[in-house]
Amino acid sequence: MKVLKFGGTSVGSLENIQKVITIIENQSKNDSICVVVSAFSGVTDQLLHAGKLAASKDARFSEIFQQLKTRHQEVATGLNVSTENSVQFQTYLAQLEDLLKGIYYINELSNRTQDRLAAFGELCSSSIITESLQQKGLAAKRKNAVELIVTKNGTARKSVNYAVTNKNIETYFHTASERITIVPGFVAALENNEITTLGRGGSDFSAAIIAAALDTSELQIWTDVSGMYTANPSLVKHAKPIKNISYQEAMELSHFGAKVLYPPTIVPVMQKNIQIAIKNTFAPEDEGTLITNTVDPNEESVKGITNIGNIALLTLEGTGLVGIPGISKRLFETISQQSINVILITQASSEHSICLGILAEEATKAQNAIDLEFENEIELGKMFPVIVEEDLSIIALVGDKMKNHQGISGKMFSKLGKNNINIRAIAQGASEKNISAVIAKKDVKKALNVLHERFFEDQRKQINLYIAGVGNVGAKLLNQIEQQKQYLKEKLNLNIRVIGITNSKKMYFNSDGIPLKKWETLLAEGEPTSIEGFQNKINTYNKRNSVFVDVTANETVANSYNTLLEKSVAVVACNKIACSAEYDKYAELKHLATQYNAPFLFETNVGAGLPIIDTLNNLIASGDQVITIKAVLSGSLNFVFNNYKEGVAFHDVVQQAKAEGYTEPDPRIDLSGVDVARKILILARESGLQLNLEDVVNTPFLTSKNLESTSVDHFFETLIEDDAHFQKLLASATKNKAQLKYVAQLVDGTLQVGLEEIPSGHPFYNLEGKDNMVLFYTKRYPEQPLIIKGAGAGADVTASGLFSDIIRLRTF
């Protein structure tokens, strides 16, 4: 014989019940089966709500009764069952109505009455399903669980009287002739024959009790998912069913929040070594999960990750705990007397404090009881009143093979720490089958995904991007990500998702990733933008491996990096303002990046897509020392002076550079030398020098009229007016057979930027187009410098530099 249990979602609608009946019919072809059914989905909650309304003299309880009556009648009609002719069903309805009216009249709802009230869900569903099977001509009979399962009188948590229960079950089933027996789950009887229940989730327990009493070959738990998962699939997108799992592992997972299985279910069948199959009512062909007594030696050490929500952490601390026998006994006796279940315990080796994890709803009751128990010690100052922390959850790694497996805890806590997930308490049993941590409730989804990525996925790292500034460069970056996403998945095990984008007017978010082929349309339909609102959204989503990408030249955006880094959000920036601000601000950002394990990458600050900062950092990290840096760091200025020829107006060349996107929207930033000054300052700082922008000697080639222009249009007008000045610069270079280049230098700790005439034979002389070049003279390269050369301006190369920094994050 087999025992099958169908939960509330499996019998939640007419369509679902028809699926259940098909499964029952197929299973009964080869075996005699006992089918344990739950109440229709949501019915138990409605019954209890109706009871509370009735007890508070609220006549609306009758509306809920009518809703329940109508729902059951409609399902029955759909199954070709006439409820009018069903004596059993009509009896239950009458009893339910009388009970609710009784509660209303006496204005009281005791625990026993509540149990009796809750039982009607299973009693009604089992009656309808039995009659439906009989209508199909199947040999089915209903047996009320109240006549089979007996619990002990006076126990706070329902304790089964197995001697009586097993005898009842064996006697009935050994004489039953029907192929199918339907039993209502959840309900039972006290030893005095009063109706009671086995607690929420008790239908699983009912099925396990029957399976163990009959020593069946298998217990099947039919639910709405295809087995026990490596994590909660509603929180972890990549969670997958576990094919095989041991009783102990299943018990740990179910105890710590895996709702597929009610924890007490495992005990009776484990004692008889009866396998449990977790199956999906809506996909019966799926393999599901098989729970047995065997452990596959080839399986992973961690079997699953689970969590319990709404936890409160109670901390009892003080010098009065140290070395005093009996403190723990008094504490746990006090908790026990309040019928409060302790989920997690941890105690410092100094004995100065004891922490308990309990359900948040029981925190106040526990706090009051403990403070009363230790009232004398608290008054004498030997202990503090109980500290209660709420809005917490427990996450746990579970696996039989975690025992004696080095590094599991290290991997777990390292991964959580890198994602700014603070751990309030840790507990691990001596069996090493469970490692638990208490964290903030808001971090649960992130924590589960982080740990699942580490222990169950093919080490494909997921990076979640929030991009500020989707103009010319930002648009190119989005296109490059879309173009390369498949390559990154296949070759680098890297999955990049863009979660949020913003420009100066709109911002748009999609928690599952923005479809990049239509980002422009989606952004146009987005909400009004603000930097504060954009960052609040990043914090609200609280995703693992979050990265803020700054593709603006906005000072407000740059000033926000510190708050992002403090939340362990990595920052990738082509905005130079932050790294060229006061040295203290730059140093603070570098410190925060280290402190919060949040990379701060800004390669594009200096050379667009060229690996200038990365090369410099590698030189210093390997023990080299920078002596001199000489560089052409402005692709914009190099483009301008390479195209400034005799017979061409300087104004026209600058206009061309602006039109082709080689300058900032305001070309004065480039031509004034401020942009180059910022770049050489950043290189100096990365070399270890503590300098500020005012330390850069900037010799301008523009006229005072150019520099004092009041707008971009006015600036171009002054270029026309002062054309003779620029012709003079060109004529001097031509006379000396030299090329005009805007050069930045770091020499003996001093910084200079300015226009120079570069003679033939110099590395800068043949620098064409918008190319940049950097010469590093170091202890290892004292005479022949290390040279980096390539395009230093343009949307494509700048976007590729940002993209390279993003890809580098996979190693952090």
Residue written as tokens 């920052």? 571
CA distance 601 to 809: 9
Q: Are 292 and 298 in contact (CB under 8 A)?
A: no
553's tokens: 């030249």
Q: Which of 303, 461, 630, 679 is catalytic?
A: 679
Q: Are 545 and 449 in contact (CB under 8 A)?
A: no
Neighbouring CB atoms inside 10 A of 719's CB total 24
Q: Are 78 and 14 in contact (CB under 8 A)?
A: yes
The HSE-up count of residue 138 (CA atoms within 13 Å, CB side) is: 24
What is the 3-state composition of the chain as percent helix, strand, coil, each rounded to the nearest 5?
A: 45, 20, 35
Side chain identity at residue 809, one-letter code? L
Q: Are 564 and 677 in contact (CB under 8 A)?
A: no
DSSP string, 579-606: TTS-HHHHHHHHHHHHHTT--EE-THHH
Tell me how far CA of residue 147 lies from CA of 95, 143, 150, 151, 565, in angstroms.
18, 8, 8, 11, 63
CA distance 539 to 527: 17
Q: Are 581 and 556 in contact (CB under 8 A)?
A: no
CA distance 99 to 121: 14
**Is 441 in the active site?**
no
Query: Could you tell me which residues come within 8 angstroms of residue 15 by beta carbon, excluding any fewer than 6 positions away?
Result: none
Phi-psi region of 563 (alpha: psi -120 to 50; beta: other; left: phi over 0): alpha
Rounded CA Rg of the chain: 36
Name the burial class of residue 240, with classes exposed (0-12), middle (13-18) and buried (19+) by CB atoms within 10 angstroms of its CB. Answer: middle
Side chain identity at residue 761, one-letter code? G
For residue 403, the Cα-to-chain-centroid distance in whole angstroms is 27
CA distance 275 to 247: 9
CA distance 29 to 236: 38
CA distance 766 to 784: 17
Residue written as tokens 């098909």? 22
For residue 167, the Cα-to-chain-centroid distance in whole angstroms is 49
Side chain identity at residue 254, one-letter code? S
Angle between helices 723-735 and 650-659 (to 10 degrees): 100
State the DSSP H helix or E strand holding residue 312, giving kind and residue range, or none if neither: strand 304-317
Side chain identity at residue 804, one-letter code? S
Provide the pairing of β-strand 244-246 with 195-197. unpaired
Strand positions, DSSP E, 441-587 = 461-468, 494-502, 506-509, 527-528, 546-550, 570-573
Which of helix, strand or coil describes residue 486? helix
Residues annotated as catalytic (active site), given as ranges: 679
